[in-house]
Amino acid sequence: MSHQPAVSDVIPRSWLLLIHQLPPEPAYLRVKVWRQLQSLGAVSLKNSVYVLPSRDDTREDFQWLLRTIAAEGGEATLVEARIVDGFTDPELEAMFQAARDADYQAIGEEARALAAALDKPKPGKDPLPETKNAVRPPPYPPPQGGRGI
């Protein structure tokens, strides 16, 4: 029986690269852009070069951020590319996995600290209703680091 390679092994993944240059003023713009990149889940490939998998939703997110940067006097370019040399697709995917693992680790630590604080009885206070156990998991499997939360 012969092994059939997966489609992802045959067809290289396509990536979106947001390349930007921000003006020195206003100073808050760097923080604003960085926070937006973090909220999108983009990872830094190099200084001022951020990457996301090429999909319609990520393209729209990067286009929105590009317009924000331009409106504040910065410059930005959005590029769709396939990795030819340097990073490999699995290396980029590992960067995304590591970033999400760190996010889940931080969430887990905060949740454990909150749970410990909630477990301490407060004199004269009614305990919280049992709704804290009603939180549902996300509709997709979390990255490796999220499984221990």
Tens digit of each residue's pLDDT, the chain (149 residues): 545 444 444 456 889 999 999 999 888 999 999 999 988 989 988 889 999 999 999 999 999 999 999 999 999 999 998 876 778 888 888 888 888 888 888 888 888 888 888 877 666 665 555 555 555 555 455 566 655 55
The predicted pLDDT at position 144 comes to 65
Instruction: Please give the residue range of the domain that contains residue 15.
Output: 11-82
- Has residue 74 been placed in a domain? yes
Q: What is the DSSP letter of 136?
A: P
The reply to whether 76 and 16 lie within a common domain is yes
The predicted pLDDT at position 7 comes to 41
CATH assignment of the domain containing 51: 3.30.70.240
The predicted pLDDT at position 113 comes to 87
Where is the domain boundary, 44, 63, 82? 82
**C-alpha distance across the termini of the chain, in Å:** 41
- Has residue 5 been placed in a domain? no
H or E element in which residue 92 lies: helix 89-119
The predicted pLDDT at position 10 comes to 45
Sign of CA dihedral 52, 100, 140, 130: negative
Q: What is the DSSP letter of 19?
A: E
The reply to whether 71 and 107 lie within a common domain is no
